[in-house]
Structure 1
């Protein structure tokens, strides 16, 4: 438990190492893109690019649902991907919707991206086999625990005990 007298509670973080680990792994994937001269590609774009390749043009709402992100978050990501030249948006069936589609630049590398995805998943499986408690199992166990008591309710309970929240 964090010391309530600490002037900076952010000095303690149980999951910061997980975020840093994921960032380091994403940096390794980005390095592979750099080595193949796939300029301007972020690992965080790949799922959406592969989804568009597999299913064709989608509205931002459809793509957001497909990758389990909010419309707002996906709209921002699509804007960044459009700026980098990976996707373009065209008018949809009505004036309110825009279809997201791959550019020729994206189509030229999508096979490599699919290969990288498969290799990454295989490397993760290999990594999980080397450790006593795989992260995928941790995630499933946490999801089960949260079914019994939500993260919101857990935090709210702790806040009810903290005079700093009152």
Structure 2
């Protein structure tokens, strides 16, 4: 039997994370939205699909590139999401204006649910506004302030400066 490896005596940098609590909070809130769907017996719907489903309902079928641009995502990320949404039965691929292009469209199942999804979106936004009203410094303001700070100096440049000072990076 081999000896167990000796643990590295240097501290684990992942033990500290300023924004992990924010990611965990958002995951918890998304889980609460998913509980709404489960309670309504809406199988296979993830909260992360709703933006794209509502966008397709509002604007009609779009190419993956068009949909990605409309929701501020990369083509690659949206392509993966569309594949998952297609597998779950929420979207389908239809012929585009020429033989080479395809568009993403809602399935009948999704079209039958978009009114309820829009209601959930409005209720979620209202609940978020209620929470923000309880805070001395709302998250939406934090996001704007961070965007302004990043306009002054990018996140990339801030990280690169710290790495240049760290001998372990060399």
Q: TM-score, normalised by structure 2?
A: 0.93
Q: Does 1:44 align with 2:30?
A: no
Question: Equivalent of 2:152, from 127, 148, 164?
Answer: 148
Q: Distance in 1 between matches of 2:10 and 2:49?
A: 39
> 1:7 deviation in Å?
3.8
Q: Which runs of 5+ in 2 are unaligned?
A: 1-8
Q: Secondary structure at the match of 1:58?
A: coil
| 1:107 paired residue number | 111
Q: Secondary structure at the match of 2:132?
A: helix
Deviating runs (4+, > 4 A) in structure 1?
none
Corresponding pairs, count? 162
Q: Which runs of 5+ in 1 are unaligned?
A: none
> 1:93 deviation in Å?
2.6
Question: Equivalent of 2:91, from 75, 87, 94?
Answer: 87
Q: Distance in 1 between matches of 2:101 and 2:48?
A: 24
> 1:98 deviation in Å?
1.6
Q: Distance in 1 between matches of 2:102 and 2:82?
A: 11
